[in-house]
Amino acid sequence: MGDKETEGGATREEIVQRVELMESMIAEGRRFTMRCGWIFVLWGVVDLAAMSWRYYQPNSLWVGEWAWPICLAAGVVLTFLGRALQGRQQGCSKGLRWRSVEAVWGMMGITLAIYITGAMVRHLTWQYSYIAALLIIIGMAHGISAVILRWRVQGVVAAIWWGGGIAAFCVRSNGGVERIMFLEMVFGMILFGLYAVVLERMGRGRANENV
Amino acid sequence: MRWFWSGWAAGEPMKTSDQLPELDPVIHGKLRLALLSLLLAANEADFTWLRKKTGASDGNVSVQMVKLEEAGYVAMEKRFVGRKPQTLYRITPRGRKALAKYVDALRILLGKAL
């Protein structure tokens, strides 16, 4: 782009040029905005990995005590790494909405870390109410995020998590809880994350819309 | 006379049905249009990124941003990230409105030219 600015009468070529310039710059700007769909996919995969580990390796030395902590720690590390890479590539662009959503999910992460650690230390993770509370807290984060972003799809996802929480209170077997968890991970995390990724690639990510 | 008063009251340039719309001279500048378009999509961006994306010089970006700021189309915020100073620009609602109006004008002009 030249250093000298010209203003004045607009020819057809000039107008077309301006339109093309706007289109390319808007596309650049969209590429720059923050993307978060991949985080849902990552956490869905991490949680499914932990569940599979427990399910397929019931006699492994690591089962029970370490499958979840190791997978969750890996999830945290990968999330931070991904965000750091994203930040380096994209510079900084955080609207009020994005910052609000980030705060909700950040605080939810800390809440769950405290909750899960406490339950593990006290060996209470076998309780159905522990799973139910876990699902309801995640549903709450989705719900708040849906209100901030005015995003009905995420509202539906929040309802799926809350529904899972209620179902976890009602089941009477470990198999039932595992099925609920599996469905939540697939529908509430992976599929929702993929949907968000597709929207973001189309330049329609909700967190980047303006306040 | 009604067209005159309605246009005048809204602070818009006078125009009759035969007249072509006027392009906002603040936005029409190539670099300013590029900067405003980038901010429209990104909402908020720092000076270095804007300079990199437009490929313009420090001085030119700075001068054009001042013009946009004076027109009330962008807002500037200076802050520190760690120990590094950072100049952050944000498109204002007025800037958004002006750009939308500019696009409408382009559309009309393009329609007339075709």
pLDDT digit string (tens) for B86-96? 888 989 999 99
Please, what is the Cα angle at A181 between A175 and A183, to 5 degrees? 105
Q: Are B25 and A16 in contact (CB under 8 A)?
A: no
Can you tell me whether residue B78 is helix, strand or coil? strand
pLDDT of residue A203: 56
The dihedral formed by the CA atoms of A88, A93, A95 and A98, expressed in degrees to the nearest 10? -30
Torsion sign (Cα): B38, B42, B47, B51: negative
Nearest to A55 by CA among A181, A195, A141: A181
Which pair of tokens denotes residue B68?
């946009």
* A47 Cα to chain B: minimum distance (Å): 33
Name chain B contacts of A10, Cβ cutoff 8 Å: 23, 28, 109
Q: How confident is the model at residue B19 (pLDDT cuts 50, 70, 90)?
A: low
Name chain B contacts of A200, Cβ cutoff 8 Å: none
Q: How confident is the model at residue B10 (pLDDT cuts 50, 70, 90)?
A: very low
Nearest-Cα residue of chain A relative to residue B54: A1
CA dist A77 and A73 (Å) reads 6
Taking every pair of Cα atoms in chain A, the longest distance, rounded to a whole number of angstroms, is: 79
Name chain B contacts of A28, Cβ cutoff 8 Å: 38, 41, 53
pLDDT digit string (tens) for A134-191? 999 999 999 999 898 888 899 999 999 999 999 998 987 878 888 898 999 999 999 9
> Which single residue is written with the structure tokens 């760690």?
B82
Q: With an 8 Å Cβ cutoff, are A32 and B103 in contact?
A: no
pLDDT of residue A60: 63
Report the 10 Å Cβ neighbour count for A21.
17
pLDDT of residue B12: 46
Mutate to test the interface with A, among B20, B32, B37 (most CBs of A within 10 A): B37
What ipTM describes this predicted complex? 0.71
Residues 6+ positions from B74 with CB-CB distance below 8 Å: B35, B36, B39, B65, B68, B89, B90, B91, B92, B95
Which of B30, B44, B81 faces A5 most closely, judged by CB atoms? B30
* B23 Cα to chain A: minimum distance (Å): 8
Torsion sign (Cα): B73, B94, B105, B38: positive
Q: Are B91 and B73 in contact (CB under 8 A)?
A: yes
The conformation of residue A207, written as its DSSP 8-state character, comes to G
Q: Which helix (H) or strand (E) holds B85?
A: strand B84-91
Name the region of B75 (left: φ>0; alpha: ψ -120 to 50; beta: rest): beta
Below-50 pLDDT ranges, chain A = 2-8, 206-211
pLDDT of residue A128: 86
Nearest-Cα residue of chain B relative to residue A30: B41
Q: With an 8 Å Cβ cutoff, are A92 and B32 in contact?
A: no
C-alpha dist (Å) from residue A96 to A83, A102, A140, A189: 18, 10, 20, 24
Q: With an 8 Å Cβ cutoff, are A26 and B33 in contact?
A: no
Mutate to test the interface with B, among A20, A22, A90 (most CBs of B within 10 A): A22
> B interface toward A at CB cutoff 8 Å?
23, 25, 28-34, 37-46, 48-49, 53-57, 60, 64, 81, 86, 88, 96, 103, 106, 109-110, 113
* More confident: B100 or A211: B100
pLDDT of residue A123: 78
Is a pLDDT exceeding 70 seen at residue B5? no
pLDDT digit string (tens) for B60-82? 999 999 999 999 999 998 887 67
pLDDT of residue A96: 65
pLDDT of residue B7: 38
pLDDT digit string (tens) for B21-61? 788 889 988 999 999 998 887 777 889 888 988 889 999 99
Q: Are B86 and A94 in contact (CB under 8 A)?
A: no
Long-range contacts of B58-61 (CB under 8 A, 24+ apart): B60/A3, B60/B31, B61/B31, B61/B35
The whole-chain average pLDDT of chain B stands at 79
